[in-house]
A = this chain, B = another copy of it.
Amino acid sequence: MSELRVKRDPEGTRRRILEAATEQFTKFGLAGARVDAIATAAGTNERMLYYYFTSKEGLYVAVLEAMYGKFAERESSVDLTGLPPAEAIRQLAQSIWTYLRENPQWLSLINNENLHEGRYLERSSTMRETISPVVDLLRTILQRGTATGEFREGIDPLDFYVTLVGMGYYIVSNRYTLEAFTGRNYADHVRQKTISTMHVDMLLSYLRPADNRA
């Protein structure tokens, strides 16, 4: 018999709570989110939230972990084999920046975590492995570029990765204050394209060997 409202649906209930919580936490932060708003949005009652996640903080950690999961999944799915080094860098950067642009709530969560000095992130243990595949990929690209003489030697892949991510992160995360300060709307498509071109140029001109310059 088909029913509109499924009465018993543990997995569904859990999932709906997690989705609702993700939205509330990204919108209002840990302190600002309200458990009753989460329960209502999830179509259940507050009690179930505690049944599945023990506490508001427990739910917050679960949201963080679910987010990391999706992020890691996506990061490891990029395929850049066979591309010339510079082009690989370009595409890797675009891929990461696109992800950040499309998932601003993810950045809100990260910012919230930094407000809490990473307290809740520490509880989860698999963060480091999340990004290592991308950094490995980047390392390979840099090595290929150095081998062909296109890139200079001695580039630290992790610092380079952090810089690359930061470029995209900053303009997405700070889009509202940037508009107030600069008068420019960096959420705008054209604006984003312009500045990301600058960023790619910057990354690549930095990689170019000194001999090639003078």
CB-CB under 8 A from A202, the residues of chain B are 163, 202-203, 205-206
Number of chain A residues whose Cβ lies closer than 8 Å to a Cβ of chain B: 60
CB-CB under 8 A from A116, the residues of chain B are 176
Chain A, 141-193, CB within 8 A of any chain B CB? 156, 158-160, 162-163, 165-167, 169-171, 173-184, 186
User: In whole Å, how far is A101's beta carbon from the nearest beta carbon of chain B?
Assistant: 14
Q: How far is the CA of A56 from the CA of B108 in the complex (A)?
A: 23
Can you list 5 pairs linking A and B with CB atoms under 8 Å apart?
Answer: A121-B176, A127-B180, A128-B181, A159-B195, A162-B170
CB-CB under 8 A from A122, the residues of chain B are 180
Dominant secondary structure at the A interface:
helix
A63-84 interface bits toward B, Cβ cutoff 8 Å, 1 = contact, 0 = none: 0000000000000000000000
Nearest residue (CB) in B for A191 is B159
Q: Which of B121, B131, B182 contacts A182 (CB 8 A)?
A: B131
Q: Which of B121, B167, B201 contacts A177 (CB 8 A)?
A: B121
Residue from the set A30, A156, A173 with the largest chain B CB neighbour count within 10 Å: A173
Q: Could you tell me if A169 and B174 are in contact, using CB atoms closer than 8 angstroms?
A: yes
User: Is A32 interfacial (CB-CB < 8 Å)?
Assistant: yes
User: In whole Å, how far is A129's beta carbon from the nearest beta carbon of chain B?
Assistant: 10
Q: A205-B206, A206-B202, A208-B205 are in contact. Are A110 and B177 (CB under 8 A)?
A: yes
User: In whole Å, how far is A143's beta carbon from the nearest beta carbon of chain B?
Assistant: 18
Which 4 pairs across A and B sit closest by C-beta, in order of nearness? A166-B170, A118-B176, A31-B32, A202-B206
